[in-house]
Each structure stands twice: as C-alpha cells, then as structure tokens.
Amino acid sequence: MPLETTLILFKPDAVRKNLVGQVLARFEGAGLKIRGLKMMRLSDALLREHYAHIAAKPFFPEVQAFMQQSPVVALALAGENAVAKVRELLGPTDSKKAAKGTIRGDLGVDMMVNVCHASDSVEAAAAEVKRFFADAEVF
C-alpha cells in the first residue's frame, strides 16, 4: 500500500461549530498521522488558485464568501492510501447524500457546508499540500 500525504481544509462551518477536534480524532482513529496543521485566513488569490476549476463559474463568489467567513484549519495527513481513506471517511461531497457514520453524513449540511475539503487525487494532494504549507511546515 502506498504511503500518501493529503490535504484537508476544515471549512468555516467546522471551525465555528467546534468540530475540528472531533473530526481530527476520526482521521487519527483511522490510522492517519498529522504531518502539518495550522489555522489561517484564506486570501482572494489563494482561493482563486485553489478553486481554479470553478473560479469562472457564477457561484464562485458564494464559495469565496463562505470560505472567508472565518479562519480555516489546514491539515496535512499521511498514511497508506490516505487520499482514498480520507474521502471514504468523509463521504460524498454533498452531505445530503452522505451515509450516517461518515463525517459529512453525521456533521455536514449540504454541498458547500460539508465540514472539510479533501484532495481528490494523489496528484491534487501533492499540489494542494504545497499550496497551503511551506516545506518547513510539513514534518
């Protein structure tokens, strides 16, 4: 099994509802290890880069406003097949479609208010970890 590092962003809903510790405990309980962790505010430029695939869409300003409602917590997690494992633990992006027992099924609200962003591939994870963490911040 390949050892991977993936990016998680605890979205403003998770931060405001004090869910970060509870969700982090689920990730650690599944055998994932913290490689980097920090709280930060997301700039317009960083959000445009991170969400480049939707930045031209008419709903992007709503996403941007949501992601800037509060600081977020950026997390680099490592483990065997970390990308797939995290996505399985989270459940589908749309919390309304997520099964109970998944993080989004238990704690999410909808497509945007869904607790966490998670990298969707090994390649995306590598780029996203570099986007949110300096090399010296990942251990």
Distance of CA 15 to the CA centre of its chain: 12
Distance between CA 34 and CA 58 in Å, rounded?
35
Find all residues with CB under 8 Å of 124, minimum gap 6, and list them.
none
Q: Decide if 127 contacts 120 (C-beta within 8 A).
A: no
The CA-to-CA distance between both ends of the chain, in Å, stands at: 21
Distance between CA 98 and CA 94 in Å, rounded?
7
Element (H, E) at 134: none
Residue 117: active-site member: yes
Among left, alpha and beta (phi > 0; psi -120 to 50; other), residue 110 is: beta
From the list 117, 125, 128, 133, the catalytic residue is 117
Catalytic residue numbers read 117
